[in-house]
Structure 1
């Protein structure tokens, strides 16, 4: 088979058209979210305001994690010099390009939540670190060298800023590659990816400690960072796969076949098991040791309003992918894979809900218009930004050095 035998069979200049209907739907969802958040934040009831902030944090963090997973996917492909994924690389690139916007939104949410005392009040409140104060908390005072407002905000800016710069550059180099050809852009991407993976690997656990774990400042788990990473990575893979399937169903990406879907399905299957492994290890060790300052975390989540969801979370994120994706053929069928991706994205929303809500919202827990509205708003925003980005460039990286390998990918 000649080196360029398949290049004439496909239209590599094909561009995605962001239709008026898709644009309209995403903007309507965004508008619903803005209205729901505005009503929540302007409410005279403190509990509604608190719950709105908790949902903003949940969806802001989820949005940023999914975009960061797009950047991580790119870096992983470059460092491993993977060829199979080059035909679908435009999808994670579009997600990675949106990361700077997601990061700014999350930074605004965490900063306003911090200073309004609607989030992080377990460690950022008057007198907690002052031995003379009636509010003095020895545990929080002991952690104040790390848990303080300037340090918290600086870490948020540095971590998300470095992820955003690296992700944006990886996408930019690839778009330049189409214009310039040659290996210059690929070599730059390889070096940047190696740096990015080191930064990302060492800092994502700390980022999740700050953003989510510090909501309950008395509690800590050294496994929490990897638990969050697993949730982020599975969610990101599901979004990449879902966008790919929807594009395929709309007649795009003819060069992507069931073998590519199979690989994405394997990654979703494998990392869903990894997520469960970390979830179980964290839960089992805390249950077994039975140390009060550790068990308090799960005690809260076993209150009547959370206990059902606690187990539903495990069922959706572990049992569903095990049963649905165990079979080889299932990973190669678009409809099965699409349903699993949607179910897992809902499952990891529930996962973040269980991580965030018990430590931030004291009463009136449950699902209501605030949860649905905020989630719809962020889904609309994500869809609008990512699909808009996707429509600006050709869907195939025509001058990617490994594109031919992707065209012949077979497993």
Structure 2
């Protein structure tokens, strides 16, 4: 007879997370005011943008004027845009919002794909990543508030003068319906905001439905709830396949509005997915250390380790494919995306660190069978991978929002601590509300005898 296990979210654990959050707040405030004392201007204009490309290729530059970004627009931004410190704060808020919203939805994705594929091995651990989904409503509020407050500083396409009949930006005008439909370009981005609301609403409703069915399965047993979980999971996966890519286009790719990649949806998904797997494995290992998850053995941990290893290679494959296709084509308006990250002194170190920490380090360390089972190794690799993919989103977002005013200091460290502690608090609180695994799951016996 398998006994029920519950996680107790102790007062000590809560206190540690709250202290971490407060330390993050202090560092964030310190970092922000340190930046504020050094403000000398606002943003980076089209001329800087053109110069980077010209220096990178040594050929005909991709200039702002060619695409309707007039000097007058650059001057207007300089006078009416927010200060560099405000833009950097908004950029970091957006990076963390997007990253942790992705972790939340990836947790639900992991849970759903186990039911849809009729997987039995994961019966004892799939509620760990599923708890990430409790962050979804918080992520929605944070993203909507930051967009409403700072969207004008984060997204270039919001500026109304880009859609002027004369002197506007022809490329951005062509994309106006995607942002503003049914309104005119430069009005309120109803279509963009509508998608954000719909995505979170459907994700959260399906998450609630899956959670209700999963908890009912604990009580009733049998296969009735399992079949309902399977069909609901299939619905979620179909919606996720479309919405996750569109969310990546909306929340990240549209920041660099003149640039696009047909692989970007896959690229963002791969980064979210690897980070979610690494965080799930780390929490599973920590719970095992506390004497919980008795139904999880070294074979399950090995499987999760293989997932982290394999999808690290998958992320690198997508990264290299996107880089190769764009850079080999040598089209200035496409290669500028990489040049802004590869050649700029602010981002070049992070560009190379991104590859080291997200590919070479986990690939080399997790290559052997024993490494995927050794919890001491996993306790080092998993947090490194999660942080590495935060850096990946930093590289996706920061160059397009703050440009040459980017950097990594107290503000970035502080906000990471704030979001990590808040995210883990919500996750552990959700885990404490129900058993860690469904003792009446029809495939739990298969999981108990899982061996590789």
Q: TM-score, normalised by structure 1?
A: 0.93
Distance in 1 between residues matched to 2:147 and 2:370, nearest whole Å:
43
Distance in 2 between residues matched to 1:154 and 1:28, nearest whole Å:
36
Report the number of matched residues: 397
Alignment of 1:41-52 (within 5 A): 46-52=83-89
- Would the aligned equivalents of 2:121 and 2:447 in 1 still touch at CA under 8 Å? yes
- Would the aligned equivalents of 1:76 and 1:193 in 2 still touch at CA under 8 Å? yes
For the pair 1:31 / 2:31, whether they are aligned, the reply is: no
2:291 match: secondary structure: coil
Q: CA-to-partner distance for each residue in 1:156-189, whole Å, 9 max, x for gaps?
A: 1111221222123212211121122222221111
Counterpart of 2:51 in structure 1 is none
Q: Cα offset for 1:35?
A: 5.0
For the pair 1:69 / 2:103, whether they are aligned, the reply is: no
Counterpart of 1:225 in structure 2 is 265
For the pair 1:90 / 2:124, whether they are aligned, the reply is: no
Match of residue 352, structure 2, among 302, 311, 317: 311
Counterpart of 2:399 in structure 1 is 358
Match of residue 335, structure 2, among 266, 281, 295: 295
Counterpart of 1:16 in structure 2 is 7
1:118 match: secondary structure: helix
Distance in 2 between residues matched to 1:216 and 1:306, nearest whole Å:
16
For the pair 1:371 / 2:405, whether they are aligned, the reply is: no
Match of residue 162, structure 2, among 121, 125, 128: 128
Q: CA-to-partner distance for each residue in 1:60-87, whole Å, 9 max, x for gaps?
A: 1111111111100011000110010011
Counterpart of 1:81 in structure 2 is 118
Distance in 1 between residues matched to 2:432 and 2:317, nearest whole Å:
38
Q: CA-to-partner distance for each residue in 1:263-315, whole Å, 9 max, x for gaps?
A: 10111111111100110001011110011110110111121221121111011
Alignment of 1:184-223 (within 5 A): 184-223=224-263
- Would the aligned equivalents of 2:123 and 2:444 in 1 still touch at CA under 8 Å? yes
Distance in 2 between residues matched to 1:92 and 1:25, nearest whole Å:
21
For the pair 1:180 / 2:212, whether they are aligned, the reply is: no
Could you tell me which runs of 5 or more consecutive residues in structure 2 were left unpaired when the two chains were aligned.
Answer: 40-82, 181-188
Distance in 1 between residues matched to 2:381 and 2:100, nearest whole Å:
19
Distance in 2 between residues matched to 1:34 and 1:68, nearest whole Å:
25
Q: Cα offset for 1:259?
A: 0.3
Counterpart of 1:4 in structure 2 is none
Q: CA-to-partner distance for each residue in 1:7-55, whole Å, 9 max, x for gaps?
A: 3xx5x32211112221011112223444555674996951111101111
- Would the aligned equivalents of 1:51 and 1:361 in 2 still touch at CA under 8 Å? yes
Distance in 2 between residues matched to 1:239 and 1:327, nearest whole Å:
20
Distance in 1 between residues matched to 2:159 and 2:366, nearest whole Å:
47
2:177 match: secondary structure: coil
Match of residue 109, structure 1, among 146, 153, 161: 146
Q: CA-to-partner distance for each residue in 1:301-338, whole Å, 9 max, x for gaps?
A: 12122112111101111111210111111111111122
Counterpart of 1:401 in structure 2 is 442
Distance in 1 between residues matched to 2:349 and 2:119, nearest whole Å:
41
- Would the aligned equivalents of 2:346 and 2:404 in 1 still touch at CA under 8 Å? no
Q: 1:154 to 1:33 in 2, by over 3 A?
A: farther
Q: TM-score, normalised by structure 2?
A: 0.84
Distance in 1 between residues matched to 2:392 and 2:329, nearest whole Å:
23
Distance in 1 between residues matched to 2:288 and 2:385, nearest whole Å:
20
